Amino acid sequence: MYTKTSINQLKEAVADWTKANEAKFKTERKEFVTESGIPIKRVYTPLDLEEKGFDYLKDIGLPGAYPYTRNNSPVGYRGKLWESTAYGGKGTPEESNALWKSQMAAGAAKAYIAYDLPTQLGLDPDNKKAAGEVGRVGISMVSQKDWEVAFDGIDFHKMGVSQVLNAPAIFGLANHLTLAEKRGIDISDITGSQQNDVLKEYMARGNYVFPPAASIRLAGDILQHVGLHMPKYQAITVSGVHQSERGANNVNELALMMLNGMAYLQAGVDRGVDVDIMAPGVMFLPGVDHYVFFEEIAKLRAARRMWAKILKEKFKAKKPESMQYRIYGAHGGMGLHREQYLNNIARTALAAMAGALSGVEWLDTRSYDEQFGIPTTEAQVNTIRVQNVVAYETGVDATVDPLGGSYFVESLTSETEERAWKVMEDIEKLGGVVRCIETGHVQRMIAKDSYDWQKRFESGEIKRVGVNIFQSSEGEAEKPLRVYRSSPAIEKQRVDTVVEVKKKRDNQKVKRCLDELTALAREAPTAKNNMIPAVMEAVKEYATVGEVCDAFRTAWGEFREPNAF
Amino acid sequence: MQERKIRVLLSKIGLDGHDRGVVNIAMALRDAGMEVIYLGRHVFPEEIAQAAIQEDVDVVGISSLADAHMTLIPDLVKTLRKKGSDIPVILGGFIQPEDVPQLKAMGVAEVFGIGSKLPAIVAYIQSLKQTAVTP
Tens digit of each residue's pLDDT (9 = 90 or more) over A304-318: 999 999 999 999 999
Instruction: Say if B62 falls within a structural domain.
Output: yes
Chain A's closest residue to B27, CA to CA, is: A565
Total number of domains constituting chain B: 1
Q: What is the mean pLDDT of residues A420-438?
A: 97
Q: Containing domain of residue B110, as a range?
A: 7-127
Q: In a mutagenesis test of the A interface, which of B18, B27, B102 is the best target, namely the one with the most A β-carbons within 10 Å? A: B27
Q: How far is CA A349 from CA A64, A280, A289, A336, A354, in A?
A: 27, 30, 10, 12, 9
Distances (CA, A) of B118 to A77, A84, A463: 44, 37, 17
- Taking contacts as CB-CB distances below 8 angstroms, the residues of chain B near A120 are 15
Rounded Cα–Cα distance for residues B85 and B94 (Å): 26
Q: Is the CB of B71 less than 8 angstroms away from the CB of A131?
A: yes
Using pLDDT thresholds of 50, 70 and 90, give the confidence band for residue A272. Answer: confident
Cross-chain Cβ contact A561/B41 below 8 Å: yes
Q: Would B93 be classed as within a structural domain?
A: yes
User: Which CATH number characterizes residue B101's domain?
Assistant: 3.40.50.280
Size of interface A-B (CB pairs under 8 A): 93
Are A556 and A522 a contacting pair, CB within 8 Å?
A: no
Q: What local confidence, expressed as pLDDT, does residue A99 receive?
A: 85
Task: Work out whether strand B35-38 and strand A236-239 pair parallel, antiparallel, or are unpaired.
Answer: unpaired
8 Å CB contact of B30 and A447: no
Give A-chain residues touching B30 at CB under 8 angstroms. 565
Residue numbers of B between 51 and 110 with CB closer than 8 Å to A: 66-68, 70-72, 94, 96-97
- How many Cβ atoms are within 10 Å of B62's Cβ, its own excluded? 26
Q: Which residues of A479-504 are buried (b: 16+ CB within 10 A; e: fewer)?
A: eebeeeebeeebbebbbebbeebbee
Residue of B nearest to A468 (CA): B115
Interface of A with B in 367-396 (CB under 8 A): 371, 373
What is the least distance, in Å, from the CA of A301 to any CA of chain B? 27
Region of poorest pLDDT, from A268-282, A409-423, A513-527, B31-45: A268-282
Best interface-test mutation with B: which of A117, A123, A336 has the largest number of B CBs within 10 A?
Answer: A117
* pLDDT reported for residue B134: 45
Q: Smallest Cα–Cα separation from B77: which of B65, B97, B91?
A: B91
Question: Are A565 and B30 within 8 A, CB to CB?
Answer: yes
Looking at residue A87, its pLDDT comes to 64
Q: Is residue B135 part of a domain?
A: no
Contact B118 A118 (CB under 8 A): no
* pLDDT one-digit tens code per residue, A33-55: 887 789 999 999 999 999 889 99
Distance CA(A512)–CA(A252), nearest Å, equals 45
Identity of the residue in A117, A123, A371 whose CB atom sits nearest the CB atom of B66: A117
* Residue B57 belongs to a domain: yes
Are A472 and A466 in contact, with CB atoms under 8 Å apart? yes
| Mean pLDDT comparison of A109-123, A270-284, A531-545, highest-scoring range | A531-545
For residue A133, the chain B residues in CB contact (below 8 A) are 14-16, 66, 68, 71
Answer whether residue B32 is part of any domain: yes
Question: Residue A236: enclosing H or E segment and its boundaries?
Answer: strand A236-239
The verdict on whether omega for the bond into residue A480 sits within 30 degrees of 0, i.e. cis, is no
**Nearest residue on chain A to B24, alpha-carbon basis:** A451
**Is the pLDDT score of B60 beyond 50?**
yes
CA of B57 to nearest chain A CA: how many angstroms apart? 19
Whole-angstrom CA distances from A102 to A89, A109, A195, A381, A512 are: 14, 11, 24, 15, 40
Nearest to A454 among B16, B72, B118 (CB): B118
Whether the pLDDT of residue B45 is over 60: the answer is yes
Q: Which pLDDT belongs to residue B135?
A: 43
Q: What are chain A's domains?
A: 57-458 (3.20.20.240)
Q: Which of A121, A454, A486 faces B24 most closely, judged by CB atoms?
A: A454
Query: Where is pLDDT greater, at A260 or B66?
Result: A260
Query: How does residue A365 score in pLDDT terms, banded at 50, 70 and 90?
Result: very high
pLDDT of B35: 97
Of A129, A206, A338, the CB nearest to B41: A206
pLDDT band at residue A81 using 50, 70 and 90 as cut-offs = very high
pLDDT at B3: 79
Average pLDDT over residues A273-292: 93
Question: What pLDDT, in 10s, does the model give residues A236-258?
Answer: 999 999 999 999 999 999 999 99
In order of A542, B25, B35, B68, the CA distances from B93 in angstroms are 37, 11, 21, 11
Q: Which of A367-376, A444-453, A472-481, B64-73 has the highest mean pLDDT?
A: A444-453
pLDDT at A162 over 60: yes
Which residues on adjacent β-strands are paired with residue B91?
B62, B111
- pLDDT higher for A520 or A488? A520
pLDDT in tens, A181-224: 999 999 999 999 999 999 999 999 999 999 999 999 999 999 99
* Residue (of B117, B121, B125, B123) closest to B87 by Cα position: B125
CB A231 within 8 Å of CB A188: yes
Mean pLDDT of chain A: 94
Vertex A246: Cα angle to A244 and A248 (nearest 5) = 50
**B2 in any annotated domain:** no
Q: What is the structure's pLDDT at A354?
A: 98
Cα–Cα distance, A318 to A408 (Å, whole number)? 32
Task: Please give, rounded to a whole number of angstroms, the shortest distance from the CA of A463 to a CA of chain B.
Answer: 14
B18 interfaces chain A, CB cutoff of 8 Å: yes
B12 lies in some domain = yes
Is residue B101 a part of any domain in this protein?
Answer: yes
Between A14 and A110, the higher pLDDT residue: A14
Q: What is the mean pLDDT of residues A106-129?
A: 92
